[in-house]
Amino acid sequence: MEDSKNKVFLTANLANLMDRKGKERIIRELADSEKMLNIHLTNDFAFKKTFHNKTALTGLLSALLDIPVEDIKELEFPDTYLHGEYKEDREGILDVRVHLNHERKINIEIQVLEYPFWEERSLFYLSKMYIDDFSKGEDYSELEECVHIGILGFDLPQTEHYYSVIRLMDEKTHTIYSDKLSLRMLYLNQLERISQEEAGEEVYRWAKLISAKDWKVLRDMAEKNEYMKAAVEEMEKINSDRELRYRYLKEAMKLSDETTIRNYYTSKGRAEGKGEGKAEGEQFMLRLIKLMLKDGIGQEELDRLETDEEFKKEMIEMYMK
C-alpha cells in the first residue's frame, strides 16, 4: 500500500514538476511581462550579478572581513573556475572570486539548500585556492592569504552564532598558527535568534539585505548605506531587463526543482533505510542527485535511479568515485 502511494506521489508531482516546455513558456512570458519581480539575493544568479558591482562588493567585504572600507583599494575578478584534474572540478564555479588589494584571495559562495559534506567541500576549495597559481620552485612566502566565505541557508552541526570566523589555531593557547587560511560562515537561518548587540553589527545588516524578500525593505536599507544602494540598484537592473529577468527566473525554477526532488528522495530514503546506514545512505543519494543536477541531468534520468539498478550503478561509478 505504501509503495502504491509512493508511486502516485512520484507520478503526480514529478511529472508536473518536469513539464519543461510548459515551465519554459511561463517563465518566458513572465520575463517579458511588465509584472515587477521580487528579486532575492538568495537566488544564485542575482547574487553573482549584484556583487560583481565593485561598490556593492566593497561594502559586503568590509563587513564580512571586518576591515574599513578605505582599506579596500583594489578588487579584481579572476577566472571563475578553479582548474584541476578531479571530476568534481566541473562544478567548481565559485559565486564571486576576488583578488583583494593584490594580496588576498577570497571566494564567496551562497548555498541555500543543504549540501552534503559542506565542511569538506569548503576546505577542498579553500586548499585549491591557496595553491592556485603557485609554481614549483617559488618561495612559500609568496603564498597569499585565502578566505572562503560561505553564506548558507542551513546550519552546520557546530552552528552557535549567525556569523562564525574559523582559523587554524593551537587548542591550548588559542594562538593563531597561520593567518593564511580562514573560513567565514554566515548562517541566514540564525538571523531571528540574534542578540540586541549583534543587531547593531554591519555583518548582520548585510545578512538582512541578502535575505530580504521585498522591495520596501531593500530600498529602506539602501537609503542609509551607499554600498547597499549600489547592490539594490543592480537588483533593479535585473528587474528592468527582460533577459536578466529570464535568467533570474530560470535559476529560481532550478532551485524549486531541486528542492522538490531532494525532498522526495530524502523521504524515500528515510522510509526504506534501516539500521546505522540509513543516514549515510541519504547523504550519499543527496550528493549523487546534486552532482547530476549540476550537470544538467533531466528528470527522465533521475527517475531511472529508482527503476533501473544498472543505470544507478553507472551513475554512482561516474559521479561518486
Per-residue pLDDT of the chain (321 residues; tens, 9 = 90+): 444 444 443 444 444 444 566 778 888 888 999 989 999 999 999 999 999 999 999 999 999 999 999 999 999 988 654 444 333 333 334 468 899 999 999 999 999 988 888 999 999 999 999 998 888 778 999 999 999 999 999 999 878 899 999 999 999 999 999 999 999 999 999 999 999 999 999 999 999 999 999 999 999 999 999 999 999 999 999 999 999 999 999 888 887 766 655 665 555 555 554 444 555 666 677 777 777 776 667 666 776 777 777 888 788 878 776
Tell the residue number behind the cell numbers 597569499, with chain if given.
Answer: 144
For residue 176, is it within any domain?
A: yes
The Cα 284–Cα 287 span in angstroms is 5
Structure confidence at residue 134 (pLDDT): 86
Domain end call among 178, 211, 238: 238
Please give the helix or strand (H or E) that residue 15 lies within, else none: helix 15-17
- 132 and 160, same domain (yes or no): yes
Q: Which of 217, 238, 259 is the last residue of a domain?
A: 238
Do 50 and 175 lie in a common domain?
yes
Residue 39: inside a domain:
no
Sheet containing strand 176-187, edge to edge, reads 75-76, 96-100, 104-111, 145-152, 176-187, 163-169
Query: Grid coordinates representing 163?
Result: 556569523
Do both 225 and 298 map to the same domain?
no
Q: Are residues 59 and 126 in the same domain?
A: yes
What is the per-residue pLDDT for 149? 97
DSSP strand E in 2-161: where? 75-76, 96-100, 104-111, 145-152
What is the distance between the alpha carbons of residues 211 and 41, in angstroms, rounded to a whole number? 7
DSSP 142-203: GPPEEEEEEEESS--TT--SSEEEEEEE-TTT--EEEEEEEEEEEEGGGGGG--TTGGGSHH
Q: Same structural domain for residues 24 and 87?
A: no
Number of H helices, E strands in the chain: 13, 6
- 277 with 229, same domain? no
Query: In total, how many domains does the chain have?
Result: 2
Residues 27 and 64 in one domain: no
* Burial state string for 17-36 with b = 16 or more CB within 10 A and e = fewer than 16: bbeeeebeeebeeebeeeee
pLDDT for residue 288: 79
175, 209, 238 — which closes off a domain? 238
Q: The pTM is what?
A: 0.74
Q: Which domain holds residue 247?
A: 2-34+243-319
Q: Are residues 65 and 199 in the same domain?
A: yes
Same domain, 84 and 188: yes
For residues 8 and 67, membership in a common domain is answered with no
